[in-house]
Amino acid sequence: MDAQKTVWVTGASSGLGLHTAMALRADGWRVIAGARSFGQDNGEQDGILRLPLDVTDEESVRAFCRKAAETALPDALVQCAGMLVLGSCEETLTDEYRRVIDTNYLGMVRMNREVIPLMRRRNGGKIVLFSSINGLLGIPFQSAYTASKHAVEGYAECLKIEVRPYGIQVMLVEPGDHRSGSDKYRPHAVAMNADSPYAEAYESAVARIHHDETNGSDPDVLGRKIARTLDRKRIPFRKRIASTDQHLAVYVHRFLGARVNAGILERYYIRKKKKA
């Protein structure tokens, strides 16, 4: 009998998904990784089986699951596929919101619909959904991403209750800023330009976001923490992996009033230029 446990990982070509997949492989898991960029460059590499996967496409999700199941059924599913669009609420287009939500939230829904029956029939499994600190509070000019992660948080609470009788555990990972990712998954809304009424505030916020990500936590540490957690018999429902100040921001949001919280975030992200 094969004693090695198998994990399927989505969004595994870059960013936190890649670092998580590598950490799980180093921890002894059989890793089957999916990403859109694996379409022309798939197969086994560095001990990880890479298969093409577009979580926004129903048939791609089904094809990935069929192919992955030929190798091994999942003991765990780790969903990391994600993107964001930077832009003001007013100027971000409906299609831009749709693209982010389709990837970050509905992509998880599609994968779970295929994987949960496999786990239910085996009476066990672990599902890890990547949320974010943004799933707990709102950051200016990241409304599409924030909305998608809030959706993941609410969805996970429902999912946890429904699948528990079948031995399936659910965990939300809530990362803070980490040094990872690619700018191609962080496009600017097409309407954002120097003529925008939000231009000055937007420039300030984007600079702060870029600074925090560039100087963020080590993604390899995040990957190892997830691997160690998945090794446990029981996994927590929420696992926040963030710096001390980001933990503090969550507590401020939870316990202080909306006006205080908004004021703190506004002062942090939107710094007006000094007049000459």
Q: Count other Cβ atoms within 10 Å, centred on residue 270.
A: 17
* Cβ within 8 Å of residue 86, ≥6 positions away: 141, 142, 186, 187, 188, 189, 192, 202, 206, 209
- Quote the CA–CA distance of 103 and 84 in Å, as a whole number: 9
Sheet holding 168-175, edge to edge: 43-45, 48-52, 30-35, 6-10, 76-79, 125-130, 168-175, 238-241
Point out the residues that are catalytic.
13, 131, 145, 149
Torsion 28-43-226-76 (CA) sign:
negative
Phi, psi of 47 (to 5 degrees): 80, 10
